[in-house]
Structure 1
Amino acid sequence: MDILPLIRRIPDYPSRGAVYYDLTTLLMDGAGFHALIDEFAARYRRLDIRKFVCMEWRGFVIGAALAYRLGAGFVPVRSLGALPGGTVSRAQNVGPVSERLQMSADAIAKGDRVVFVDDLLATGALSEAALMLVKDTGAEVVECCYVQEIVELGGRKRLEKRGLSVFSFFEYL
């Protein structure tokens, strides 16, 4: 199934001259969402993935469905203060602001094979912060998985410089 047409393009959002690729229209289409998860599941089925580490909120939707499909765990990464209990956190500069991300301290064990999931790879700054949390646990990051990537923003290069493998379903220039 060709799912690219299910992603709505919104011109001049969030700023004039920009194009926003709205993944929610794909998520609202049952057959399209199913096809997306099937494609990702086929990619990771034989890789002994223990956890899918996911950014909120669209990463949660995709990662939770993928974890369920493959019988793996789901690990949410959220903004500081959004998770209860013992957590670990890391700050990352994202443009002019600093963002602090957190995950549960006991979510990932040393040696776990994990895939990082988010809907969009842009600059890679938030992904990098989340992935450093994961690496601090001693887990093995098998791959960083995205539905969409805006190539010109350099996120892939940023993550590959850290020795991370990156896969995106769609690339926009």
Structure 2
Amino acid sequence: MKTVRDYIRTIPDFPEKGVMFRDVTTLFGNARGFRMAVDQLLHPYAGLRFDKVVALDARGFILGGAVAHQLSAGFVPIRKKGKLPFATLEEEYQLEYGQAVVEIHEDAIEPGEKVLLVDDLLATGGTAAAGIRLIERLGGEIIGCAFIIDLPDLGGRARLEELGMSVHALCSFEGE
């Protein structure tokens, strides 16, 4: 029987030499694999009520919409700076070489709303940590952070757990 990991394609040396890119488009493109991933992302949260699913730009949006639908929750995108049309809050975070900024609409989450943060991949945790800070600034209560892939050697899970987050990942690729 196939696992979620079996549907993920690995592309060596993309976007640069030495990087093993984990391509989830092959998972998304397979109906059985995609359904499996969404169901397994939700499994630890069975019976819990969520008001919003927040997803990170851009592959997280694909998952976030499906997960929000399954939870009968609203969907909130966290986008790269300059992509949202209304008043926003922004959060800067570190990249390997430089900085980036993500934004959320200032009215996207009401204080006290229960939130699930979703993305395809957890690497260093920089983008997810920035998303967490935005959600918390709006008063959202983050119940969990769910990812398809964890790259544990890059420390993202530990970083999010240090922030007090519960982290759920469907598979990991260690040492690669």
Q: Same-fold call, TM > 0.5?
A: yes
Q: 1:6 deviation in Å?
A: 1.0
Q: Give the Cα separation in 1 of the matches to 2:95 and 2:153.
A: 16
Secondary structure, in 3 states, of the residue corresponding to 2:142? strand
Q: Give the Cα separation in 1 of the matches to 2:94 and 2:22.
A: 24
Stretches of structure 2 lacking an aligned partner (at least 5 in a row): none
Match of 2:103 in 1: 102
TM-score, normalization by structure 1 = 0.95
> Following superposition of structure 1 onto structure 2, how do residues 16-165 of structure 1 map, counting pairs within 5 Å?
16-165=17-166
Q: Give the Cα separation in 1 of the matches to 2:147 and 2:115.
A: 14
Match of 1:170 in 2: 171
Secondary structure, in 3 states, of the residue corresponding to 2:99? strand
Conserved in 1, the CA contact under 8 Å of 2:41 and 2:148? no
Q: What is the count of residue pairs matched by the alignment?
A: 173
Q: Give the Cα separation in 1 of the matches to 2:155 and 2:89.
A: 27
Please tell me the root mean square deviation across aligned C-alpha atoms, in Å: 1.2
Deviations 1:9-34 (A, max 9, x none): 11222232321111000000011111
Secondary structure, in 3 states, of the residue corresponding to 2:153? helix
Q: Give the Cα separation in 1 of the matches to 2:98 and 2:149.
A: 23
Secondary structure, in 3 states, of the residue corresponding to 1:147? strand
Large movers: runs of 4+ above 3 Å? none
Stretches of structure 1 lacking an aligned partner (at least 5 in a row): none
Counterpart of 1:36 in structure 2: which amino acid?
A
Conserved in 1, the CA contact under 8 Å of 2:55 and 2:117? yes
